[in-house]
Structure 1
């Protein structure tokens, strides 16, 4: 019988009180933040905010609880933006939306620093880690050290593999790879992207889900992704359900699957019944009941949403996974 698990790709919105408090604190400590230092007051505010988002998930009954990545002001670029070998420069649009991040420019060797592992270790009850996938992280960054795209992708993969290997014990690792959709790799680069993902996945004992969104992966990169030793691929059934189904029908998928059936960018809250109907639509195209694990998730990160909408979507996801989605 398929195990149905409610989860998310992480990157939660800050609780409303934390937005105001942290904005005020950071406004008074700009010089410290530029140098990478956070005051005790900022650290404390993030700890209290983390406790809130953990409570949102546990109260809702989410099966795979994430740390929330509230410190990730630069979103998926965060692990590089806080690295000593990286200079952050101008503001860059984050994919094709109204969010922005600081451009990480890699100027020296990417040695592991354990930043993400430390965040998860500081959180109680987390059983799912979240990292950017190596291809997306390399696409979001600029290389001024390694010299060519292939060497840079390998270096980013090695860096993320070391970060993943340092993680506390978790059940699942979500690698977020939207660039496989939005900036799909060309011939040759698609195979290297798959090998880079494989290198990160090999560093952990957890179930590894490569979650893609903002559309469906083109055919050749998808076919190469199937060669990676991962446990599941995540599909965005909000943005492009037909393309997602085509890839699965044409090239197959892994023994487990993640279905992005809740809109992570729209404030309209789906009911558990609507979520179940979307899963059932996939079941009509692909035999979902044959999968070992079925992750029911939002298609994108949740930081786009007001906190009350994020909480409501968590409740709907958990209820749908527990009561509505057929096994």
Structure 2
């Protein structure tokens, strides 16, 4: 029987109380932040905020619990923005929305950092490792958001990013699932020279963990060739954004098939309108009704994008909707 799993791509909004506190602390410690030293007070504020979002996910009934990525001010660029071999330059628009990040310029070898592993370690102390979900930018998206001023070759840079992320994953505590967020595969699709290499890069990261790996794409649908190559990667599931684009995602599934597991982005991670759990379940059924084969081992029900964009109260409601939708789907499947 198919297992329905409620989860998110992480990157949560800060709790309202923490947002004000951290804004004040960062204003007072601007110099330390530029040099990479957050200080004890900021670290403590993030610890409290992390504990809160972990508790909110648990109370909502989510099947997979993420650390929340609350420190990721640079969004998906974060693992590079805090790296010693990277300089952060000017402010860059994050894809086509109104969020921004500091441009990470790689100036040296991307050796092990451990930044994300330490965050996940803190989360693992508060969450059961059978429920814990790690979140990382996919290697293609991270390379796309960054600038290479060291490796000098696009393919070599992508490979270096993949090796770096794989090294980070190897240091992770026990986790049940790993979500690799790959919006650039949609927004800035690789050309013929890179589309196969992009899948090989995802493969490199996926092989660094024994957890189930989801390559989650969003803000549209993958081009056919990119989707076909992604199926060759050693991932357990591909995540598809059925909020932004239904027809092309459905076509890709019908034409090329799928992995044994699938992640469906069915709740809108950017819209404050809160869906009904029954509507989420019905949307999943609509997808399956259109497919010739629907015996998926696992179906992840998730928001299509990060929930970073939502007011904190709406983010909480979206979690509850996803958890209830997965429960409804399980009951009906039984």
Q: Which residue of 1 aligns with 2:120?
A: 120
Contact kept, 8 Å, 2:213 with 2:236, in 1: the verdict is yes
2:280 aligned with 1:310:
no
Q: Which residue of 1 aligns with 2:261?
A: 256
- Structure 1 residue runs of 4 or more that deviate by more than 6 Å after TM superposition: none
Contact kept, 8 Å, 1:288 with 1:294, in 2: the verdict is no
Contact kept, 8 Å, 1:10 with 1:68, in 2: the verdict is yes
Contact kept, 8 Å, 2:215 with 2:237, in 1: the verdict is yes
Following superposition, the deviation at residue 289 of structure 1 comes to 4.4
Following superposition, the deviation at residue 288 of structure 1 comes to 7.0
Q: Which residue of 1 aligns with 2:40?
A: 40
2:242 aligned with 1:212:
no
Q: Which residue of 2 aligns with 1:320?
A: 325
Q: Which residue of 1 aligns with 2:140?
A: 135
Contact kept, 8 Å, 1:282 with 1:288, in 2: the verdict is no
Q: Which residue of 2 aligns with 1:195?
A: 200
Contact kept, 8 Å, 1:130 with 1:173, in 2: the verdict is yes
Q: How does 1:59-98 map to 2 (within 5 A)?
A: 59-98=59-98
Q: How does 1:205-244 map to 2 (within 5 A)?
A: 205-244=210-249
Mapped to 1, the partners of 2:220 and 2:291 lie a distance apart of 18
Secondary structure of 1:279's aligned partner:
helix
Contact kept, 8 Å, 2:116 with 2:168, in 1: the verdict is yes
Following superposition, the deviation at residue 179 of structure 1 comes to 0.3
Q: Which residue of 1 aligns with 2:30?
A: 30
Secondary structure of 2:78's aligned partner:
helix
Following superposition, the deviation at residue 277 of structure 1 comes to 1.3
**More deviation in 83-92 or 284-293?**
284-293
Mapped to 2, the partners of 1:71 and 1:46 lie a distance apart of 7
Aligned residues: 327
Instruction: List gaps (5 residues or longer) in structure 2.
Output: none
Q: Which residue of 1 aligns with 2:184?
A: 179
Contact kept, 8 Å, 1:9 with 1:174, in 2: the verdict is yes
Following superposition, the deviation at residue 323 of structure 1 comes to 2.1
Mapped to 1, the partners of 2:76 and 2:301 lie a distance apart of 21
Residues 195-228 of structure 1: CA deviation (Å, up to 9, x unaligned): 0000000110000000000000001111111111
Taking a change above 3 Å as real, the CA distance of residues 251 and 44 of structure 1, as seen in their structure-2 partners, is same
Instruction: List gaps (5 residues or longer) in structure 1.
Output: none
Contact kept, 8 Å, 1:2 with 1:289, in 2: the verdict is no
Mapped to 1, the partners of 2:325 and 2:155 lie a distance apart of 42
Mapped to 2, the partners of 1:275 and 1:323 lie a distance apart of 10
Contact kept, 8 Å, 1:80 with 1:104, in 2: the verdict is yes
RMSD: 0.9
Q: Equivalent of 2:164, from 159, 165, 175?
A: 159
Q: How does 1:291-310 map to 2 (within 5 A)?
A: 291-310=296-315
Mapped to 1, the partners of 2:213 and 2:329 lie a distance apart of 25
Residues 106-125 of structure 1: CA deviation (Å, up to 9, x unaligned): 00000011111100101121
Contact kept, 8 Å, 1:12 with 1:303, in 2: the verdict is yes
Secondary structure of 2:102's aligned partner:
strand
Mapped to 2, the partners of 1:50 and 1:287 lie a distance apart of 42
TM-score by length of 2: 0.96
Following superposition, the deviation at residue 287 of structure 1 comes to 5.6
